[in-house]
Amino acid sequence: MTEPLLAHYREMYRIRVLENEILRLRKIEEVVGSVHLCNGQEAIYVGAAAGLDLSRDAVFPTYRGHGWALALGATMHSILAELLGRSTGTNGGRGGSAYFSTPDTAMYGENSIVGAGAPIAAGAALAATFDGSGRVAVAAFGDGALNQGAVHEAMNFAAVQQLPIIFLVENNHYSEMTPIVDMVKNPVLFKRAAAYGITGARIDGNDPIVMRDAVSKATEHARAGKGPVLLEAMTHRIVGHYIGDAQQYRPAGEIDDIESDEPLARASRTLLQESGVTQTELDALVADVNDEVRAASLAALADPVADPTTVLEHLYA
């Protein structure tokens, strides 16, 4: 298990340092607008990406999507350039944090309307039943989004039509700033799958190997024409809902309690204690990735700002 876990650790750490650099750039107002970080949820993206066929599958994430983009193959430079409003960004500096997409790497766009990606993903899954691509669509959203009408309608439609789609719930225990246990009668969310007559499971979202295996199994199920799958990936975010969130709703000591089990801490502990990886090897990996994000940030900051006279180009209505 050493090699895949070490590779997953590297990708998770890449996401973590990218998010930390985005936080730094937002604090000095090089990045503007609302930004939602995914610190603590990296194993979901890395593991899920490893379980998909990125040559044909499609992911429709929520607005917390930087980690998805990087895990699916977008470069640090292109992501940072987009958030910085540079012409070299994934969408030419037009999408920013909340609306960027990287369709060349299987990520078909964030959506700032909670749960709105689910019916769009259902559309992609429906198209797959006609175009012969064998594509599986992934609709990824938070626990609170399951209470949105559009998500219910998408899941019901997908179930009736036996669409090749995975509904992936990133359950970080908070619906924005309200605990999910205060939002629903039954907080074991995967059990809702039974009401739609589809397959569902709750999995460890802090373990990239578990995520990879669960998503791989779900794609096989969906690609074989057996219908949708609802996966509830249990995790925690160790940052605020958005940059600037004071997190006053968290109980005292909660972050300290969960940091020992967050994906990077757990993976590094396993690598050091059970897999024969040395601290020197991990330190070298960390240094290499830190250099990568510094270089990407400096390059993106040096890129030309998007030309405002072209703002009406590349629009579809």
Cα 260 → chain centroid: 21
H-helix or E-strand containing 204? strand 199-204
- Is residue 59 domain-resident? yes
- Is residue 114 domain-resident? yes
- Is residue 36 domain-resident? yes
CA distances from 28 to 47, 83, 262 (A): 32, 13, 27
Q: What is the pLDDT of residue 111?
A: 83
CA 236, CA 42: separation in Å to the nearest integer? 10
Buried b / exposed e along 259-270 (16+ C-beta atoms within 10 A): eeebbbebbbeb
| pTM, to two decimals | 0.95
CA 30, CA 46: separation in Å to the nearest integer? 27
The CATH number covering residue 221 comes to 3.40.50.970
Q: What is the pLDDT of residue 317?
A: 66
- Is residue 269 domain-resident? yes
- Is residue 151 domain-resident? yes
Q: What is the pLDDT of residue 160?
A: 98
CA 192, CA 197: separation in Å to the nearest integer? 9
Q: What is the pLDDT of residue 119?
A: 97
The angle formed by the CA atoms of residues 1, 41 and 178, to the nearest 5 degrees, is 145
Q: What is the pLDDT of residue 135?
A: 97
Q: What is the pLDDT of residue 143?
A: 95
Cα 53 → chain centroid: 16
CA 198, CA 214: separation in Å to the nearest integer? 15
- Is residue 316 domain-resident? no
Mean pLDDT of successive 10-residue stretches along the chain, which has 317 residues: 88 98 96 93 98 97 94 97 96 89 90 91 97 97 95 98 98 91 94 97 98 98 97 95 90 89 96 94 97 98 94 78
Residue 251 DSSP class:
P
Q: Are 167 and 230 in contact (CB under 8 A)?
A: yes
β-partners of residue 233 are 170, 203
β-partners of residue 174 are 179
Q: What is the pLDDT of residue 99?
A: 87
- Is residue 313 domain-resident? no
- In this structure, are strands 58-60 and 137-142 parallel, antiparallel, or unpaired? parallel
66 closest CA partner among 4, 34, 22: 22
Pure H helices in the chain? 2-27, 42-51, 66-71, 76-83, 96-99, 117-131, 149-161, 193-196, 208-223, 254-259, 263-274, 279-302
- Is residue 206 domain-resident? yes
- In this structure, are strands 229-234 and 137-142 parallel, antiparallel, or unpaired? unpaired
CA 294, CA 228: separation in Å to the nearest integer? 41
Domain hosting 273: range is 2-299
Q: How many domains does the chain have?
A: 1
